Structure 1
Amino acid sequence: MNKEEISLFDEQQFETHDKKFELKNVIEDDNLIKSKDRVQHHGEVFTPKWMVKKMLAEPSIQEKLHNLHATFFEPSAGEGAFLKEILHQKLNHVDQISNKTTWKNNALWALMSIYAIELLEDNLIKAKQAMMDIFINHYQAFIQKELSSNTDLYKSAKYVINANIVQGNTLTFKNSEEKLIEFREWIPYENKVKQEIFTYKSLFNNDDINDVNANEGQLSLFGDIENDDSKASKPVLITKVYEK
């Protein structure tokens, strides 16, 4: 074998059809109770995965899970049992309807449709991280490329999760800083998105003049909120939503 043949052999690139990234199952902790103290003081008992799946299997819920813009709200998120499964199933739908060009936008719209409140900070941190992990896993399995924390997509996904999954008490409508719980509504605008801040309290009967977007009458948590463009932010590309 001559020198040229050896060089060609050493530099040869062997192709493989094996995927570098595989879609993982949503892993759940089987412990439904952290401590008796937390049960007594906060009524904290987590929902088992089999029950989450059964509840989400209802035909009317499945229809919503196949709608990128249909919103879900979890008033007591815990460590995110429902949030994780909802996001996982929504992203399964995104995987089915998207190509590598449209996946990012569709996935962010799916993420923007999921809202939650959690009282306890340690649970909140775990729920947010779990949602980010699921988002990253779906991206990498579909695109077959690592999602860097320096990318616009990563930064936008993290921004949306922080805006939609928040600390607070659903009974008092306030967070630990005694401020009204706030969310962002994500408004499609041509091929971009606008943000409009509203409070959790504004979804219910109230005449609080200090409330943002207070409404007369009760709104459905899954319904449409009337948009006031004067209160909405300037439209931006959905993958750059973190830039506000």
Structure 2
Amino acid sequence: MAKQVKSKKRVADHGEVFTAEREVKAMCDLVADECLRIDSRFLEPAVGEGVFLAEVLTRKLSVVKEKYKKSAYDYERNAILALTSIYGVDILADNAQVCRDKLFALWNEEYTAACKKEASDEAREAAKYILKTNIICGNALSLMCVDENQQDTDEPIIFAEWTFPFNDARIKRRDFRLDVLLKENTEDQYYAEQFSLFGDDAMGLENWMIDPVTHEKVPKPIREYTLIHYRRLTENG
């Protein structure tokens, strides 16, 4: 059984108590349908060592395996898609790194077992790059990145939106400030229904644009990258 407390000091300084596996599974069961959607996005604002995201990823990869196990290409692409859909923030750098390592180990074990000799180191490096981008060391209350002393910096938390707009191997990345994505959402509005991290549910958001592919109203990104094969993601870094 995994420990729920690392040290009394971490509890006192940061209120760090990890959720037990039984509770993690029970809470994920409450949104079971979303956990089984490969592209459904999850954000854990106090990610710790990633127990929630690991459970979500496990469930997503079970769907990928069930649907795409006969094709190494389809499995790999959809396993990458599942990985792009999970996001986390933690104020402690060691937690954020443990989370990245745990999620990659989980993903890589399933990927290697499914694709065997067709498994690619390029895909593995892309997976690590996605996790480095999606799991952020920051303050989920101020929505700012933090330094080695857990103090806010002047750098806002930025998340990448990953999509496969043409349903092929080309992936699209667009970066958004988390504080802007959440701006002007009232408390009632936030808790009344599931929040869409990059979608039109963020009412009151300034600086809208029309997506040229979907023609939907979406927030403007602060950076937008050219389409690239997902195995070559690190070239856009």
Shorter-chain TM band: 0.7 to 0.9
Q: Which runs of 4+ in 1 moved over 6 A?
A: none
Match of 1:154 in 2: 124
Match of 1:234 in 2: 226
Q: Larger Rg: 1 or 2?
A: 1
How many Å apart are 1:175 and its aligned residue?
Answer: 1.0
- Taking a change above 3 Å as real, the CA distance of residues 222 and 228 of structure 1, as seen in their structure-2 partners, is closer
**1:88-107 matched pairs, under 5 angstroms:** 88-98=58-68, 99-107=71-79
Answering whether residue 156 of structure 2 is matched by residue 180 of structure 1, we say yes
Answering whether residue 11 of structure 2 is matched by residue 36 of structure 1, we say no
Q: Which has the higher strand share?
A: 2
How many Å apart are 1:229 and its aligned residue?
Answer: 8.2
Match of 2:107 in 1: 135
**Aligned with 1:152: secondary structure?**
helix
Answering whether residue 168 of structure 2 is matched by residue 199 of structure 1, we say no
After superposition, the C-alpha distances for 1:143-163 in whole angstroms (9 at most, x for unaligned) are: 234856xx2101110110000
- Write the distance in 2 (CA, Å) between the matches of 1:30 and 1:166: 23
How many Å apart are 1:34 and its aligned residue?
Answer: 0.9
Letter aligned with residue 201 of structure 1: D
Match of 2:195 in 1: 220
Match of 2:34 among 61, 64, 69: 64
- Write the distance in 1 (CA, Å) between the matches of 2:82 and 2:74: 12
After superposition, the C-alpha distances for 1:195-225 in whole angstroms (9 at most, x for unaligned) are: 111111112226xxxxxxxxxx979244625
Where does structure 1 lack aligned partners over 5 or more consecutive residues?
1-28, 207-216
Number of residue equivalences: 202
Match of 1:85 among 55, 58, 61: 55
RMSD (CA atoms): 2.2
Would you say the 8 A contact 1:70–1:222 is kept in 2? no
After superposition, the C-alpha distances for 1:14-53 in whole angstroms (9 at most, x for unaligned) are: xxxxxxxxxxxxxxx5210111111111000000001111
Q: Which has the higher contact order (CA 8 A, sep 6+)?
A: 1
Would you say the 8 A contact 1:193–1:235 is kept in 2? yes
How many Å apart are 1:56 and its aligned residue?
Answer: 0.9
After superposition, the C-alpha distances for 1:117-167 in whole angstroms (9 at most, x for unaligned) are: 01111111111100010011001221234856xx21011101100000010
In percent, how many aligned pairs have the same letter?
Answer: 29
The TM-score normalised by the length of structure 1 is 0.76
